[in-house]
Amino acid sequence: MEWRTLLCERFEAVLRITTNRPHVLNAQSRVLIRELDEALRLAGEDAGIRVVVIAGAGKHFSAGHDLGSDEEMADHELHPRGPAFADELRYLSSLYYETALRWRDLPKPTIAQVQGYCIMGGLMLAAACDLIVAAEDAQFADRSVRWGGAHVQYFSMPWDLGPRKAKEYLFTGDYLSAREAEQAGLVNRVVPGERLAEETLALAQRIALNDPFALRMAKLSVNEMLDAQGQRVALEGAFKNYMLTIPHRMALGTYGEAARRQGGRARVRAVRERAAKTGDG
């Protein structure tokens, strides 16, 4: 199958899917998200694939959702969203939250191969994977507070980092280095950048030596234990809280059609200017 935004490579029982938009730091357009979702669905159905690696072309894993590239704006013109808040809820739930849940629950082990920026939507993708192997230069961040939001749509950081570290990480909007992320439990391994692809593939191939049904059941047991502790309910609640921030962000000028046309940097600038005027920053 041909993809507009992905590169797919087979290494026997391992499939590596690479998001291929390095000119925009692998920002996730709607096309990319839908293609990635379809590629993972097909991988889940292919009996010859036992492990999936997800990578990003170029220097960065992903800078998050596409906030206004020419391709993304053209897609929005062709396929506009509905005007009502209920339309926005359905759109965001379908495109981001429910999609990330499918990635989390893929019946095969997944490994995120992360270098450079892994922020916002990029972090959502990595967090939905079972394992994360990071290059030494990897940086992780959810910077939502910097433009009036709370967090991303699929928000699992309290489970990945622990509640106190997650709060610090959210409240500041600062980056976590690869080593900090490893110490906190978000990242499994940190390796030199020049060995990232090699080390990630070696781990995937080692896992792929095992029985596929056993791998599926092992993953299912861990995910079901997390859900028994309340993870899925918490993810749903966090998404609802995310939706509650949208009217606030629209009032700030950091969400909606005008904000999309301005781009991400303009959103951050608008919040900082407001904070400077009101003293609430």
Residue 1 covered by a domain = no
The pair of structure tokens assigned to 204 is 């995937």
Enumerate the β-bridge partners of residue 110: 52
The pair of structure tokens assigned to 153 is 């749509």
pLDDT at 84: 67
* Residue 196: band (very low, low, confident or very high) from pLDDT cuts 50, 70, 90: very high
Between strands 139-141 and 117-119, the pairing is parallel
* Residue 268: band (very low, low, confident or very high) from pLDDT cuts 50, 70, 90: very low
Residue 41 covered by a domain = yes
Q: Quick one: which of 175, 155, 153 has its CA closest to 163?
A: 155
Cα–Cα distance, 270 to 254 (Å, whole number):
7
Residue 87 covered by a domain = yes
Residue-wise pLDDT for 197-253, tens only, equals: 999 999 999 999 999 999 999 999 999 999 999 999 999 999 999 888 888 777 777
Residue 270 pLDDT greater than 80, yes or no: no
Residue 262 covered by a domain = yes
Cα–Cα distance, 164 to 110 (Å, whole number):
27
Q: Are 127 and 216 in contact (CB under 8 A)?
A: no
Question: What is the domain count for the chain?
Answer: 1
Residue 278 pLDDT greater than 70, yes or no: no
* Residue 277: band (very low, low, confident or very high) from pLDDT cuts 50, 70, 90: low
Could you give the dihedral angle defined by the CA atoms of residues 255, 261, 267 and 269, in that order, rounded to the nearest 10 degrees?
-150
- The residue range of the domain holding 82 is 6-278
Residue 175 covered by a domain = yes
Residue 43 covered by a domain = yes
- Distance between first and last Cα of the chain: 49
Give the mean model confidence (pLDDT) for residues 97-115: 98
Enumerate the β-bridge partners of residue 132: 112
* Helix H or strand E segment including 117: strand 117-119
Residue 72 covered by a domain = yes
Q: Is residue 13 helix, strand or coil?
A: coil
* Residue 167: band (very low, low, confident or very high) from pLDDT cuts 50, 70, 90: very high
Which CATH number belongs to the domain containing residue 159 in this structure?
3.90.226.10
- Higher pLDDT: 164 or 265? It is 164
Residue 11 covered by a domain = yes
pTM across the whole model: 0.88
